[in-house]
């Protein structure tokens, strides 16, 4: 295995590392992801119960097959570190914390990230 230079390691870090830009604490997803899955299933069970209570016994099977979960949720991947740093530099330039030319030069140095 070939030894990596510090520059190669930094480029790999910018491409592989991720940052949470959703606006919540990065540790909060440990609780919020399972909670969202529970809420989705709970809504599905409630809907199925309503179908059982409100429909005639002959139509229950067709109604249950037609019924969909009412609460839809899915996970979103975190942002690659290079994109996150680019957004931060643009924000700093917009707010006047750094010069726009300086921010553009730093953003140009960041590696391009391909999103899956």
**Over the chain, what HEC string results?**
CCCCCHHHHHHHHHHHCEECCCCCCCCCHHHHHHHHHHHHHHHHHHHHHHHHHHCCCCCHHHHHHHCCCCCCCCCCCCEEHHHHHHHHHHHHHHCCCCCHHHHHHHHHHCCCCCCC
70 and 34 assigned to the same domain: yes
When pLDDT is averaged across residues 72-100 and rounded to a whole number, the result is 91
Give the domain range for residue 112: 1-17+80-116
pLDDT of residue 67: 64
Higher-scoring residue by pLDDT: 64, 108: 108
Q: What is the mean pLDDT of the chain?
A: 86
Asked if residue 20 has pLDDT above 90, the reply is: no
Tens-place pLDDT, residues 65-83: 776 655 677 788 889 999 9
The pTM of this model reads: 0.63
Please, which pLDDT band fits residue 93 given cuts at 50, 70 and 90? very high
On whether both 57 and 95 belong to a single domain, the answer is no
What's the confidence (pLDDT) of residue 3? 94
Two structure tokens written together for 27: 């540790």
Overall domain count for the chain = 2
Q: Are residues 49 and 89 in the same domain?
A: no
Same domain flag for 47 and 69: yes
């Amino acid at each position: 295995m070939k030894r990596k230079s510090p520059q190669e390691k930094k480029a790999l870090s910018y491409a592989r590392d991720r940052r949470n830009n959703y606006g919540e604490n990065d540790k909060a997803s440990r609780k919020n992801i399972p909670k969202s899955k529970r809420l989705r299933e709970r809504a599905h069970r409630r809907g199925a119960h309503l179908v059982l209570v409100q429909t005639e016994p002959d139509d229950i099977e067709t109604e249950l097959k037609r019924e969909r979960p009412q609460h839809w949720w899915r996970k979103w991947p975190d942002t690659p570190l290079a994109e996150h740093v680019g957004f931060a530099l643009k924000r700093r330039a917009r707010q006047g914390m750094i010069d726009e030319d300086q921010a553009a030069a730093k953003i140009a140095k960041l590696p391009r990230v391909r999103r899956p």
